[in-house]
Structure 1
Amino acid sequence: MTGPRISVVVPTRDRPDRLAVCLAALEDQDATDLEIVVVDDASRDARAVADVVARAPRARLVAGAGRGPAAARNAGVRAARAPVVCFTDDDCEPVPGWARALAARIADGAEAAAGPTRNGRPDSVLAAASQTIASHLAEAGVDPVTQRMRFAPTSNLACRADVCRAVPFDERYPLAAGEDRDWCERLTGAGHALVFVPSALVRHHQVLSPTGFWRQQVRYGRGGYRFHTDARRHDRPGRGGPRLESPGFYTGLLRRGFAAGPRAGLLVGVAQVATAWGMGLEAAGSIIPGRRTGPAA
């Protein structure tokens, strides 16, 4: 009996209801040779998570250590049995052909592939603004000829399993902030191709309050500061300090935000303030004795 051709790794923590929707979407994938590896990263109600996973025929559960999504993804990769590993998040809903489209692109020669992630809550301007920022960061750098990318979020990503094991996620990133950018830069820096697959769509169902939105963007700023200042660890000389994107990047980001509506555009601007604040907090914690609160906390 042959094993699965595609393993989907889903880290989760304290969101069994959202996980159930994600697993239902993964069960609907049209790739028949697919397994789902759910890594419970120390949920408070582990039984609720286990019950959700038990109702998904293609899913199995792996216990995480509560060390964050980077460590949880690495645990999922270690447990995966297929030669291609896909990643998505527990608040995401991949469309039926998602896994097959990513795996096909890897079969064509790419070491890694990623598709677009779109807002799954059109009624929420906060979710629309948050997704606009993440999507622009990923898609603004896509080469129109080769479709190569510099960055893709782990909400919608696939990689050869052997490459995943050779280039693991850095577990010194304890939260969902910066660890995906770090991984993508190390992946592409090692000469591996990360390509864009427009048909591999994922819908992202973020539930955000105004406070939650602000905290999310501050967290991204803290993770971004760690990503930039940790550049020396990855043999990238001369890139050890924070750097901004080009002016055109921010112009395009604001344009994309306002295309989603005036309130979304304003929130995209607010998010840049929150991100800068987070970078400042992390910088202060790094250089002032007694102020360190943990990396990207």
Structure 2
Amino acid sequence: MSYPALEFSIVIPTYNRPERLASCLRSLTRLNYPRNGFEVIVVDDGSAQPMAPTVEPFESVLNLTLLRQVNSGPAQARNAGADRAQGQYLVFTDDDCQPHANWLSALAAKLDQQPLALVGGHTLNALPHNVFSTASQLLIDYLYDYYNSRHQPSFFASNNFAMAAEQFRQLGGFDTSFPLAAGEDREFCDRWLQQGLPMAYAPEARVDHSHHLSLRRFWRQHFNYGRGAYCFHQVRARRAAAQVQVEPLGFYWRLLTYPLVRQPQLQGMLLSGLLFVSQVANMVGFFWERNQQKLPSTSAPATPC
């Protein structure tokens, strides 16, 4: 098989998950892309324990760089990795993802066709027996169906996308006013489209996502998504000089019924219930963040966005 003459920098933010990071790096050693065609940049976002012992075993088989920053969130970590990147194209994934062997070659093929596109791949739930992880991935699947079924895709998650480094830098990278892993990828995609740049879907570029969730973690995840959604709408409204707009009611009805047509009946009902819980948590997080933003300056500092 011949490969397009592309040079990639794979950027991985990580925080307090050495076992997950090791699994991610192990998967990169199995990529069927020429080893001299890509580098890997791991950005430790201020983990409690050093990540060097996790990274060192892979330095002999990967062109690998480890950076460390004071805890500032994944958006800042991705930008820091991009600043050090030497590749023509940037590829982002997360420490709890394991790319398939043909992941990079699939992204390369799409970028060879559309070199100025933001290319998003397909993410699979690696924990099908964890109902909370399954529900969380089902929500992402629904968002991909909702936002990307039209002629022009409009949303890709930052655990599996790639673009030309030059376009990323001209755009200013990720908005670092998003301190959580919530909303910063959506804002980046929206800003990308606003600049008239294309987006393209590469479903063959697959990663397995191993996000272990309990009910408490599931609630916290979607509460934070709500906080990120508020920040996204605020940033977008300021950029467009328009009022905050949210999705129509039909969006939520289709979301809640989405599992019923994709899963066995009882499993679908359970997952539909969890998606309802996710939207309650999202709404609570949205209004919590809104109230925090409106606190007077003498109160506890609000999250910037």
Alignment TM-score, normalising by the size of structure 1? 0.91
What secondary structure does 2:147 align onto?
A: coil
Structure 2 residues without counterparts, runs of 5 or longer: none
> Which of 35, 55, 65 is 1:60 aligned to?
65
Query: What is aligned with 1:126?
Result: 132
> Which of 59, 83, 86 is 2:88 aligned to?
83
Q: Is the 8 A contact 1:282 1:295 kept in 2?
A: no
Q: Distance in 2 between the 1:159 and 1:222 partners? A: 27
Q: Distance in 2 between the 1:55 and 1:129 partners? A: 34
Aligned residues: 287
Q: List per-residue Cα deviations over 1:150-194 (Å, max 9, x = no partner).
A: 111111110111111112101111110111111110011101111
- How far the C-alpha of 1:291 sits from its partner, in A, is 5.8
Query: What is aligned with 1:111?
Result: 117
Q: Distance in 1 between the 2:72 and 2:180 partners? A: 8
1:15 is aligned with what amino acid?
A: R
Query: What is aligned with 1:92?
Result: 97
Alignment of 1:286 with 2:288, yes or no, is no
Query: What is aligned with 2:22?
Result: 20
Q: Is the 8 A contact 1:223 1:295 kept in 2?
A: no
Alignment of 1:257 with 2:259, yes or no, is yes
Q: List per-residue Cα deviations over 1:233-257 (Å, max 9, x = no partner).
A: 43x132x42x322334223322333
Q: Distance in 2 between the 1:25 and 1:196 partners? A: 22
Aligned-pair identity in percent equals 36
Q: Distance in 2 between the 1:201 and 1:126 partners? A: 21
Alignment TM-score, normalising by the size of structure 2? 0.89
Q: List per-residue Cα deviations over 1:177-217 (Å, max 9, x = no partner).
A: 11111111001110111111111111110111111110110
Q: Report runs of 4+ in structure 1 exceeding 6 Å deviation.
A: none
Q: Distance in 2 between the 1:115 and 1:69 partners? A: 19
1:128 is aligned with what amino acid?
A: T
Query: What is aligned with 2:32?
Result: 30
Q: Is the 8 A contact 1:68 1:176 kept in 2?
A: yes
Structure 1 residues without counterparts, runs of 5 or longer: none
- How far the C-alpha of 1:16 sits from its partner, in A, is 0.4
Closer/same/farther in 2, CA of residues 208 and 176 from structure 1, 3 Å limit: same
Closer/same/farther in 2, CA of residues 135 and 292 from structure 1, 3 Å limit: farther
Closer/same/farther in 2, CA of residues 263 and 295 from structure 1, 3 Å limit: farther
Q: List per-residue Cα deviations over 1:102-125 (Å, max 9, x = no partner).
A: 122112124210011121100100
Q: List per-residue Cα deviations over 1:127-162 (Å, max 9, x = no partner).
A: 011111123223321145x4x311111111101111
What secondary structure does 2:255 align onto?
A: helix
> Which of 71, 74, 77 is 1:69 aligned to?
74
- How far the C-alpha of 1:292 sits from its partner, in A, is 4.8
Query: What is aligned with 2:107?
Result: 102
Q: Is the 8 A contact 2:6 2:89 kept in 1?
A: no
Q: Distance in 2 between the 1:221 and 1:267 partners? A: 15
**Stretch deviating more after TM superposition (134-143 or 189-198):** 134-143
Query: What is aligned with 2:170?
Result: 166
**Stretch deviating more after TM superposition (57-66 or 20-29):** 57-66
Query: What is aligned with 1:137?
Result: 143
1:271 is aligned with what amino acid?
A: S
Q: Distance in 1 between the 2:210 and 2:195 partners? A: 33
Question: What RMSD, in angstroms, separates the aligned Cα atoms of the two structures?
Answer: 1.8
Query: What is aligned with 1:44?
Result: 48
Q: Is the 8 A contact 2:295 2:302 kept in 1?
A: no
